[in-house]
Structure 1
């Protein structure tokens, strides 16, 4: 079991790094595009037709990838004053319950994300000319990351509240 935990830790570390890089790049795209649109709209009176869509899509990707990253670090907002001091079997039971709830949430997000992505293949965005599958794939990516990070937390037997 130790080798499996190490393997998942390495995979999670690599995915974490890749996700942080992609998120930073998408955040930069969002800022540059919004800045460009402000300049074009208010200084040159020639707004672009694609900028708000690209900024919105980038924001959705950043938010959902950030959700998965925060989950791995257990950085989501929580009320844990009654759980912090727990040890032993009660802490383990509550951790397993949390893992099951998060796995169910990630499973629903994955299932619905796949359905949306498939249906988005038939729809094209007016501003970017891309299929909406690119937007909806963010839910699939986020849920897959959550499931990998969940497996890593479970294999290292993390019982702190998240």
Structure 2
């Protein structure tokens, strides 16, 4: 189990680097768009579209990382009244439900990608499949991290490793 968790954590480090790169590119594109519009008096047609698609990818990748780090927003009022083992059991149940939802999202996401492969974006003229692929790919990343959280909580239930 520990080998799987180490592999997932290494994978998440790579995702973190990808996320940082995406955010840097998005910031640079937006900065250049503002510079181009107000200083050069010429607007870029593709910059807003690229920034939007990068933002979508960033949200899905960031959500996957937030799941692993347990940094998603949640209401913990009931959890605070529970014992540690009850919290761990509740987390397992919640993340299993999340995996079911994400599996549905992966299924319909790939279906949607298939439906838009021939459609091109208006400004950049690339396949819309690149933009829509964030849904199934990001959901797969989230499933991987949900599984990691479940493993952590299962170990906690068994009295093993702590979070």
TM-score range relative to shorter protein: 0.7 to 0.9
How far is 1:89 from its partner? 5.7
Aligned length: 156
Q: Secondary structure at the match of 1:117?
A: helix
Structure 2 unaligned runs (5+)?
A: 158-163
**Does structure 1 residue 146 correspond to structure 2 residue 129?**
no
Matching residue of 2:118 = 122
The answer to whether the 8 Å contact 2:92/2:153 transfers is no
The answer to whether the 8 Å contact 2:89/2:153 transfers is no
Structure 2 counterparts to residues 49-64 of structure 1, below 5 A: 49-64=45-60
Which range moved further: 90-99 or 73-82?
A: 90-99
Q: Aligned partners of 1:55, 1:132: CA distance in 2, in Å? A: 14
Structure 1 unaligned runs (5+)?
A: none
The answer to whether the 8 Å contact 1:53/1:127 transfers is yes
How far is 1:62 from its partner? 0.7
Q: 2:67 aligns with which of 71, 80, 83?
A: 71
How far is 1:72 from its partner? 0.7
Cα 1:82/1:117, change in 2 over 3 Å: same
Q: Secondary structure at the match of 1:107?
A: helix
Cα 1:17/1:49, change in 2 over 3 Å: same
How far is 1:90 from its partner? 3.5
Matching residue of 1:11 = 7
- How does the TM-score come out when normalised to structure 1? 0.87
- How does the TM-score come out when normalised to structure 2? 0.87
Indicate the RMSD between aligned Cα atoms, in angstroms.
Answer: 1.9
Q: Secondary structure at the match of 2:135?
A: helix
The answer to whether the 8 Å contact 1:15/1:145 transfers is no
Q: 1:101 aligns with which of 97, 108, 124?
A: 97
